[in-house]
Each structure stands twice: as C-alpha cells, then as structure tokens.
Amino acid sequence: MHDLPRLALSVRQPSAWAIIAGHKPIENRTLGSIRAGRMGPGRICIHAAAGLKEEEFGYLYWRLGKHGVTCPHPMDLARGAIIGTVEVTGVITASDSEWFGGAAGLTLRDPEPCTPIPARGALGYFEWQPGGTLATPTKWMRNWGRATPDAATGDLFPDAPITFAAPPQKPWG
C-alpha cells in the first residue's frame, strides 16, 4: 500500500471516480462547507461515499457524457472506500470551466488511483482510518441501464448505449 495522506474528502460517485480518473478538475462545494471543513491546498485522499441515489447517478452519468467521458456502470464503482489521492491547488469562487457549478470549489490536479480501501466517510476534510467493507450494490444499481423488453415483440437490446430523451433534472440545489 502507498503512503497515503491521512486527510480525505468524501465525494459521491461517479464524481469521485471522475476526479481520480482525471476528468473532473473542480470539486464544487459551498464556501461555508469549505471553511467549516478547513479545506485548503495540499494532497488528500478521495473517499467514495457509500450513499448514492439513482437520480444523482443518472444526472452525473449524463453530465460526464456531455464532456465526452464514459462513466462506468454503478456496479463497477467502489463506494465506502478511499479510491486515490489528488492535489488540491486552491479554492475558487468563480471560473469559466464547465465543471464549476456552485458558489465555490476546490481546484484539483495530479490524481493517483489506488486499490479501494474500505473506510468510513465524514463531512469536510477528515482523518480516515481503514476498516469496514465496501458498500454493497442496491437493486437499482444492478438493474441500471438494462433494456426492458418491447411489450409487442419481446426484443431486448442489451448492447444499446444508454441515452436520455431529455437532460435529467439536477437532483440538488
């Protein structure tokens, strides 16, 4: 195992994966949460949060696709674990980046993945400890993106790409 930083930030999937894969250079937070969590520059671990709702995943899957990023299936994303490290270079309150979407954000660079290490998350920067198990997939995760049979023909298209007739609604404020 690497010599990993002791501080971590918990991020919901698939954003945690996108950060560690080098696709998401900004993690949006409120300025209040950045201050309260004592978030600032330095190398930290990224913790993939255990919780994930279907609406959140669908929106983020669509959003990543808008940027040309193919998001893994929810069954393939570790949750409830440290999944890598990233350098936080600063705090911003404005940006032209399409990844900036809030009142404030942490700018990120040099992500390095690691083998998932089960750990509990917390708010803000927190000192993590290894322990526990990875979060188990829920029913919606196992079934996400599966084609359903056409009522008239019974045909399935298991290899069809996941598409959205309209952009999903943003599931948070």
Amino acid at 26: I
Q: Which amino acid is at 44?
A: I
Band (pLDDT 50/70/90 cuts) for residue 1 is very low
**Domain 7-143, CATH class in plain words:** mainly beta
pLDDT, position 157: 53
Written as one letter, the residue type at 107 is: T
HSE-CB of 39 using CA atoms within 13 angstroms: 31
Whole-number percent of the chain with pLDDT over 70: 86
85's enclosing H/E stretch is: strand 81-92
Instruction: Name the more confident of 58 and 149.
Output: 58
Residue 166 has pLDDT above 50, yes or no: yes
Residue 2: is its pLDDT beyond 80? no
Residue-wise over 14-37: b if at least 16 C-beta within 10 A, else e?
bbbbbbbbebbbbbbbeeeebeeb
**pLDDT value of residue 105:** 96
Rounded CA-CA distance 12/51 in Å is 7
Which residue type, as a one-letter code, is found at position 54? Answer: E
Report which of residues 148 and 42 the model is more confident about.
Answer: 42
Amino acid at 34: I
Percent of the chain exceeding pLDDT 90 equals: 73
Cβ partners under 8 Å of residue 153, min gap 6: none
pLDDT tens readout for residues 136-164: 999 999 988 876 555 555 545 544 566 67
Asked whether the beta carbons of 114 and 81 are under 8 A apart, the reply is no
